Structure 1
Amino acid sequence: MTVFSFDLDTPDPVRLGLIILQADETIERDFRRLLPMETAVHVSRVPSGLEVTQETLLAMQAHLPAAAGLFPDALRFDAVGYACTSGASVIGSARVAELVRAGANVEAITDPVQALIAACRAGGITRLALLSPYVEDVSDMLRQRLAGGGVDTPVFGSFNVAEESKVARIAPASVIDAATRLGADPSVEAVFLSCTNLRTLDLLEEVEVRIGKPVFSSNQVLAWHLCKLAGAPMAPGFGQLMAQA
């Protein structure tokens, strides 16, 4: 055997982590478009229930440290995102951060709820129309968390789905119709399309044009906030306000 000497390169300049649900079929594809190709994103998954209830969402707490612990040990991450809007609303962003830090070496931690509140503050938005795929009690927890962050959701609509597997199958035309109808209400300043598994990325611009207001999605604001926290660029072209904030 011939043994060769070698040199070591430095790690990637920006290191992001993403903890996604076992059932999520959408966010990885979205993040490939939302982030520049040169941005390193390491992905781990956390077990999630077949149905989305407060109980199944809370159950993820027990698995978050282990999911975070599957990231490469040699890396210190600039930012890690827990990619579950409803999970973050039920568990709470502070508790999510505590659990992720138990498993990963990370500078900053965010989630879609925290990211949405940050995006609304950046844009001076305090009143949202909220479209959720989930049943009412799960969505109510999200609305309470947003209100605690200074963002009211006086206009609310839902597809009232309990099974997670159905969320990624909701037709884009159905999302566009519902979001447009909610966003047309003059009492709101923007629309939020909740859930990382809902296919929304290609719909944002069309709904914004229809209603003349900013439209946010879980994956969009999460990618934006991760980039903000890490000091990294975000790929252009995904929403009016994201380009300005």
Structure 2
Amino acid sequence: MGLIVLQTDETIEPEFNTYFADRSCPIYVSRIPSGAEVSKDTLAQMENALPMAADLLPKARPYRVVGYGCTSASSVIGSEVVESMVQRTCDAAVVTNPLRAASACAASLGVAKFALLSPYIEEVNNPLRRAFAENGISMDVFGSFGEAEESKVVRISQQSVVDAAMKLGADSAVEAVFISCTNLRTFDAIAEIQKRLGKPVLSSNQSLAWHMRELNRR
């Protein structure tokens, strides 16, 4: 498997090391240039950088699956375009991303009404909610930390994530919670939120890891 990680991301690799601690095959990682701030413009710019980042993955053998580790950029660029750009330079059977992965995970769980918790500013949140809606997932209940700087997103505390997710997920209108952004630390928060809410809790990294594992088995 292959994984394309944002230059600014400090979280996805250590979390993937835990999610895939039992893996029998390696995950090769490449980095893609990304802006210090998250905006529609900086996210869109990654489209043209995707082929170069994918080209840096080792070419000894084809990949069953490659993951692109950016939820918000996938909503701006589009999952199909992301896959096409990666496959230009990388022999990958399938390409997934957190948006596509979370949608698949939601379908597997049989849930479609989510509360969304994100770190993003509204110009990034809006296309993300629209993209999920196109996949049949409503996110009418949502909240954000309103943070544009990537270096600050990774330093949002676990307790802040838990408290915010609990508040959103307590709404009786939602069936599950999605915590967006691969740079937001969620691994240790998910179990606590899920136990207290009694509802499924997904995150960008958890969903992407699950989907890559599922696709790799096919």
TM-score class normalised by the smaller sequence: over 0.9
Q: Aligned residue for 2:25?
A: 39
Question: Quick one: which of 104, 120, 123 aligns to 2:90?
Answer: 104
The offset of 1:37, in angstroms, is: 3.8
Query: Who is 2:5 aligned against?
Result: 20
Quote the offset at 1:103 in angstroms: 1.3
Aligned to 2:45: 59
3-state SS, counterpart of residue 122 of structure 1: helix
| Residue 186 of structure 2: aligned partner | 200
Cα distance in 2 for partners of 1:76, 1:49 equals 30
Partner of 2:36: 50
The residue that corresponds to 1:92 in the other structure is: 78
Provide the rounded CA distance (Å) in 2 between the counterparts of 1:186 and 1:220: 24
Corresponding residue number in structure 1 for 2:168: 182
Higher helix share: 2
Amino acid at match of 1:126: A
1:113 maps to 99
Aligned to 1:29: 14
- The equivalent position to 1:145 in structure 2, one of 131, 137, 140, is 131
Give the superposition deviation at 1:62.
1.3
> With structure 1 as the length reference, what TM-score do the two structures score?
0.87
The question of 1:210 aligning with 2:215 is answered: no
Residue correspondences, number: 217
Q: For the residues of structure 2 that align with 1:105 and 1:191, how far apart are their CA atoms?
A: 34
2:177 alignment partner, one of 185, 191, 206 = 191
1:193 Cα shift?
0.5
* Cα-to-partner distance string for 1:53-76 (whole Å, 9 max, x where unaligned): 000000001110000000112220
Alignment partners' CA distance in 1, 2:70 and 2:52: 16
Aligned amino acid, residue 184 of structure 2: L
Shift of 1:34: 0.6
Q: Deviations over 1:118-151 (max 9, x none)?
A: 0111111110000000001101111000000000
Note the C-alpha offset of 1:38: 2.3
Partner residue, 2:209? 223
User: Distance in 2 between the 1:198 and 1:116 partners?
Assistant: 15
Q: Hey, what does 2:121 align to over in structure 1?
A: 135
Distance 1:114 1:142 in 2: 11
Query: 3-state SS of the aligned residue for 1:160?
Result: coil
1:171 maps to amino acid: S
Cα deviations by residue, 1:81-113 (Å, 9 ceiling, x for unpaired): 000000101000000000000110111110000
Secondary structure of 1:44's aligned partner: strand
What letter is aligned with 1:21?
L
Q: Over alpha carbons, which structure has the higher Rg?
A: 1
* CA shift for structure 1 position 39: 2.7
Residue type at the aligned position of 1:94: E
- Aligned with 2:145: secondary structure? strand
Identity of aligned pairs, percent? 50
Q: 1:123 aligns with which of 96, 109, 112?
A: 109
Residue 153 of structure 1, CA deviation: 0.3
Q: Distance in 2 between matches of 1:137 and 1:196?
A: 18
The two structures, once aligned, show a CA RMSD in angstroms of: 0.8
Distance 1:40 1:110 in 2: 17
Unaligned 5+ segments in structure 2 are none
